[in-house]
Amino acid sequence: MKKKILIVGGVAGGASAAARLRRLSEEDEIIMFEKGPHVSFSNCALPYHLSGIIDTPDRLVLMSPEKFLVQYNIQARVNNEVLYINKEEKNVTVKNLLTGETYKESYDKLVLSPGAKPIVPNIPGIEEVNIFTIRNVVDIDKLNKYIKSIDAEDIAVIGGGFIGVEAAENLREADYNVALIEGTDQILRPFDYDMVQILHKEIYDKGVNLIVGDKVEKFEKDVVVLASGKKITAKVVVMAIGVAPETALAKEAALDIGETGAIKVDRNYKTNDDNIYAVGDAIEIYNALTHSAAKLSLAGPAQKQARSVADHINGKQGLNKGYIGSSAIKVFDYNGASTGLNEALINVLNMKIKYEVVRVILSDKVGIMPTSAPMHFKLLYEVPTGKILGAQAIGKGDVTKRIDVIATAIKFGGTVEDLKDLELCYAPPFSTAKDVVNYAGYVGSNLLNGDFKQVNVDFVRGLVEHNSYIVDVRERGEYANGHIKNAVNIPLSELRERINEIPKDKPVYLHCRTGQRSYNAVLALQNLGFNNVYNITGSFLGLSLYEYFNDVTQNRESIVTEYNFR
Amino acid sequence: MKKKILIVGGVAGGASAAARLRRLSEEDEIIMFEKGPHVSFSNCALPYHLSGIIDTPDRLVLMSPEKFLVQYNIQARVNNEVLYINKEEKNVTVKNLLTGETYKESYDKLVLSPGAKPIVPNIPGIEEVNIFTIRNVVDIDKLNKYIKSIDAEDIAVIGGGFIGVEAAENLREADYNVALIEGTDQILRPFDYDMVQILHKEIYDKGVNLIVGDKVEKFEKDVVVLASGKKITAKVVVMAIGVAPETALAKEAALDIGETGAIKVDRNYKTNDDNIYAVGDAIEIYNALTHSAAKLSLAGPAQKQARSVADHINGKQGLNKGYIGSSAIKVFDYNGASTGLNEALINVLNMKIKYEVVRVILSDKVGIMPTSAPMHFKLLYEVPTGKILGAQAIGKGDVTKRIDVIATAIKFGGTVEDLKDLELCYAPPFSTAKDVVNYAGYVGSNLLNGDFKQVNVDFVRGLVEHNSYIVDVRERGEYANGHIKNAVNIPLSELRERINEIPKDKPVYLHCRTGQRSYNAVLALQNLGFNNVYNITGSFLGLSLYEYFNDVTQNRESIVTEYNFR
């Protein structure tokens, strides 16, 4: 039976649903409404127009309404806003934004994919600055043209989420003076505080005025005034503090809204009305790791949800396994990726889960290859099951590869033991024979077995302040080029002959450059009867990266004689 | 109880075993014998010295005997060859190659990690050419110095395996005239014939004289004479036709040799002698997909085996799940990776397994990002279970990432359905919202459900010869820039209005540029009552790449009016 299907929103979710609906039925009538002038554009690529990596805004648009019509026989009505849903009569009221005319369109099935809108809080003096948000091609074009038209020098980006960081990066690449202002103590929540310091440093090093832990209090004429009293001049202010699901239509139609404030859907992405579905940033998803409702503003899941909806409308049941959330971001020369749970989220949700952390640094490819660089890798797993909960990776190399592998392992309920056995592709230009993922599996298994104990780099400042016994097992030349202020240098190569220098009556903390040599030293000491030895994971390289940004931006006394970032 | 452990061979397997043995016991005596002058060098990186990417041969050496001694208290005796094993007396006879002196060393446990040696067949006239092989640092240094000393111009590499291809690539990068000669019809067996054509073309395009399907018959003075009669001038000949496990020691000690000719070991990598273990290229492994014995010359597995051996010697049982074999290679501007089974292997082994092939081409990252490029992806899965058997990927972008994900899924017994649900990291610089891995899952599921039928690019020449009905659904401009000789152009945008042109009484084969639009066309036709339609996977881009190398090197008539490689 021929169906008439209306879709509200023509970007990731809406466009994917439309295409899949057509593939499943040639006869159905499919109409997609988009209040903006474009359907099917690449949201995620918007910031890259600011640097010119994507040179013209039209390149951001992937499909025209004309193509939807001739290739898929789908009507894509741009500049048409759906104002109202009448569930009982099964029709929507639509306004043509170009003509001002309103009309009704009936449906058999309705798919809502309205997305989420940037939050612009009503901060005092907001009329004193030129505020921009980034949601669609029109926004980014307007922002870019405005910056160029006034020959702007100073730009403030407020909010250190994905869009804020990418906007700041691309504006900086285009040579503007950029301030990136984040009210909490860190940018990019998918990364834990200890990991994100690497990205803080990178953003700072690349000349962005990164300010964390300081909220916007008010605006004055072309000035952002922070709670600390700091004033940031900015002819352009990009507001990127977050997005809120577009729920106005759904609310007015009395569709259920979930605890997170997003549209509530069932396992087939159906709302509480039997003929209305919803997908994308506007809905509440089920997090398979926290076992709770959550919001998830990611393009991949939106497309998958759209496909499920098209299937269900055409009589196919799907299996909704929930989401774990995987994401990635380029930050100048560094890449970051994460999947699943992190420590911050476990704490925020007050999850009663016992977990252990693996934190390793390994070369992303064979060390002698010219582009090899350290990769910082953090893995969380459940104790005592060993079940993988999440991971984060940051480095100049291929971090998404490693996180994709972990995301895959999580989907299959994998454990740290499983990671040891993974056979990953190896050749010198791509990786190391024992990949960081395997290595994390070894370390995780060793920890789980109680083979050794560890503390992380974020613990070291406390150790230094309490004058704890820290042994630096790097060779003498390395120690001379920068070390923890009160660390004793006993190189691994001298460890066995100088064993008597190490006290047995108090905790001993060992480190090297990345934690590998000190791990060997820890085991040697344990085998020689020392019972209270800890490996400092992240070691001197991780510590240097961890401490640097706060030291220099807060004029804080450093706990190392000199940083070493290599 | 203190043990004395001897290790034969000091590279991947041997060095890893030694280090792990030390971590597990501080008191054991550990001695590693290596007949060459170096332990712990990077075999896999050897070819990169030929191009100068790794500038000096000493950089290939990762650890010195001195470091093994002072850091790990391990004796690494280089230039010491183990000549003989006396199982009954539990000792080995060793020859110091520098002094000529022989001596005996007793053991409690013996670990064999002798590796594999390059095969040099006794081809007539072999004394007429300068033959080199590549196994260790001495070899590559000798080869490199010789080439430079005679100011060589023409170099022949015989054998198209990993080492042969990497040697040819690096020599070409150093501007030599390189011929790469492979006796069978393709290089790089981990890739199926249809996939490897992309690499054949790349090697040919980069100016290597690639000759496949032509064996070396004899040598004349600085000339390689092929079975075809072709003569290749070469002042230097690199022999890389394959390796044979080093089994002489094991055989003489009457240790069991397996059906593959490699050393037979149990699940803990123990030979049939209770005190002798063996790891690495010299042993026979269990292939978890073919359920049979096989050889596997890869560094990663060697290191993992070494770890298992060290564990078992120290009383820890491991779980040997067998191997699936994952590998990668860079070939000039292209990257290739593979895991698990391929079609060729299934046929060679005459496996009674029913499988289906997914062959897709998708952009490796968001299409509008400057470095985006097509990725060619081939997935094999079992019918009717959907269980993933193997995959291959080739492209200019991050192919190892996708194959690592598949390798991980295989380890967990994953199916094509599982691939649909994987949440992989997405940001425009790294991938697409729906990754090629997800996409392959969709296609695989659709095939498994019988939603559509397909033929591959390697089928098209036959179709053309039999004058089958081929529809090119690309737009008119694309068709004009090169098309299959007798294909009818009905653009997707004209399909519905020109539906009557398409015959219902015979098979119809559809293609576009990559197979995505033609897939939509196939479904539209099916929904409109056509029952005999096929999507040509790989489509025009895949076909152009597939046909090109054989067309130009065999002066074969092309089945396309013009190739298109973008």
* pLDDT for residue A82: 98
- Give the residue-averaged pLDDT of B324-350: 97
Total beta-carbon pairs less than 8 A apart between chain A and chain B = 254
Give me the mean pLDDT over the B80-89 stretch. Answer: 98
Q: What is the pLDDT of residue B459?
A: 96
- A303 close to B (CB below 8 A): yes
Phi, psi values for residue B64, rounded to 5°: -95, 160
Q: Residue A441: enclosing H or E segment and its boundaries? A: helix A436-448
| Cβ atoms < 10 Å from Cβ of A87 | 17
pLDDT in tens, A297-342: 999 999 999 999 999 999 998 888 999 999 999 999 999 999 999 9
Interface test with A, best of B46, B113, B408 (most A CBs within 10 A): B408
Chain B stretch 85-114, residues whose beta carbon is closer than 8 A to a beta carbon of chain A: none
Q: What is the pLDDT of residue B242?
A: 96
B12 has a pLDDT exceeding 90? no
Is A328 within 8 Å of chain B by CB? yes
SS (H, E, C) B454-505: EEEHHHHHHHHHCCCEEEECCCHHHHHCCCECCCEECCHHHCCCCHHHCCCC
Among the listed residues A522, A546, A524, the one whose alpha carbon sits nearest the alpha carbon of residue A462: A546
Sign of the dihedral through C-alpha B527, B532, B537, B539: negative
Give the model's confidence band at B466: pLDDT under 50 very low, under 70 low, under 90 confident, else very high.
very high
**In the predicted structure, residue B320 carries a pLDDT above the cut 90:** no
Q: Which residues of B touch A45 (CB under 8 A)?
A: 366, 368-369, 428
d(CA B93, CA A97): 91
Q: Do B400 and A425 touch (CB under 8 A)?
A: yes
Q: Which of A24, A44, A97, A351 is catalytic?
A: A44
Checking if the pLDDT of A152 tops 90, the result is: no
Q: What is the pLDDT of residue A135?
A: 96
Give the mean model confidence (pLDDT) for residues A217-231: 98
pLDDT for A44 equals: 95
Preceding peptide of A384 cis, ω within 30°:
yes
At B208 the pLDDT is 98
Interface of A with B in 48-67 (CB under 8 A): 48, 53-54, 59-60, 62, 67
> Cβ of B528 under 8 Å from any chain A Cβ?
yes
HSE toward the beta carbon, residue B279, CA cutoff 13 A: 30
Q: Does residue B318 surpass a pLDDT of 90?
A: no
Residue range B514-533: mean pLDDT, rounded: 97
Q: Residue A355: which of A382, A323, A321 has the closest Cα?
A: A382
pLDDT value, residue B319 = 82
Return the residue in B425, B431, B452, B526 with the most chain A beta carbons within 10 A, the one to mutate for interface testing: B425
Q: What is the pLDDT of residues B253-307, one digit of tens each?
A: 999 999 999 999 999 999 999 999 999 999 999 999 999 999 999 999 999 999 9
Residues 6+ apart with CB under 8 A from A266: none
Q: Per residue in B411-421, pLDDT tens?
A: 999 999 999 99
Q: What is the mean pLDDT of chain B?
A: 97
Residue B467 has pLDDT above 90, yes or no: yes
Q: In this structure, what token pair is assigned to residue B448?
A: 């498994």
Asked whether residue A465 carries a pLDDT value surpassing 90, the answer given is yes
Report whether pLDDT(A1) > 90. Answer: no
Give the side-chain half-sphere CA count within 13 A for B507. 12
Q: Which pLDDT tens digit goes with each residue over B411-461?
A: 999 999 999 999 999 999 999 999 999 999 999 999 999 999 999 999 999
Cβ atoms of B33 and B107 closer than 8 Å: no
- Write down the pLDDT at residue A253: 97
Interface test with B, best of A72, A423, A519 (most B CBs within 10 A): A423
Clarify whether A512 is annotated catalytic: no
With a threshold of 0.95, tell me whether the complex ipTM lies above it.
yes
Q: Do A434 and B300 touch (CB under 8 A)?
A: yes
Confidence of residue A484 (pLDDT cuts 50, 70, 90): very high
Interface of A with B in 185-214 (CB under 8 A): none
CB A275: neighbour CB atoms within 10 A? 15
Per-residue pLDDT, averaged over A113-141, amounts to 97
Does pLDDT of B76 surpass 90? yes
Instruction: Give the pLDDT confidence score for residue A414 in this predicted structure.
Output: 98
Chain A residue numbers touching B524 (CB-CB < 8 A): 22-23, 26
Answer for the pair B180, B160: CB distance below 8 angstroms, yes or no. yes
Report the pLDDT averaged over residues A8-12: 93
pLDDT digits (tens, 9 = 90+) for A387-437: 999 999 999 999 999 999 999 999 999 999 999 999 999 999 999 999 999
pLDDT tens digit string along B490-512?
A: 999 999 999 999 999 999 999 99
Is the pLDDT reported for residue A284 higher than 90? yes
Order of strands across the sheet that contains A216-220: A216-220, A223-226, A231-233
Strands A177-182 and A154-158, sheet pairing:
parallel
Q: What average pLDDT does the structure give for chain A?
A: 97
pLDDT of residue B558: 97
Which helix (H) or strand (E) element contains residue B76? Answer: strand B75-78
